[in-house]
Copies of this chain bind each other. A is one copy, B any other.
Amino acid sequence: MKKAAHLTRARQTAIFKALADPHRFELLLQIAKARCPLGCSQALASLPISAATLSHHIKELETAGLIDIRREGKFAYLSLRPGVLESVAASLQALESANCAGR
């Protein structure tokens, strides 16, 4: 198991903000669970939002560093950036472990 990278607090809150919207979180779930990079149109078909709004959410996820976008001609393909969610998970787990309550 590779050691998780350190994230600054500002980076962490930026990531939480990106995860805090239901539609955006659902989008990330789909990207994460897809076996291959998810196409924009595919994502659009599975979310009750307009193309404009989807584009906005994609940009937010990218800005937070959570996903990578590969553009090919007319199309765009979304994939999870490896290691980021893992780092966040490690931070939260460390927070819980640092605490002494309930133990």
Measured CB to CB, the residues of A under 8 A from B are 9-10, 12-13, 16-17, 19-22, 25-26, 28-29, 32-33, 35, 37, 79-80, 82-83, 85-86, 88-90, 92-93, 95-96, 98-103
In the complex where A86-B93, A96-B80, A103-B82 touch, is A22 in contact with B13 (Cβ < 8 A)? yes
Q: Is the interface of A mostly helix, strand, loop or mixed?
A: helix
In the complex where A13-B19, A16-B20 touch, is A89 in contact with B83 (Cβ < 8 A)? no
Do A19 and B16 touch across chains, with their CB atoms under 8 A apart? yes
Identical subunits present: 2
Do A102 and B83 touch across chains, with their CB atoms under 8 A apart? yes
Do A86 and B96 touch across chains, with their CB atoms under 8 A apart? yes
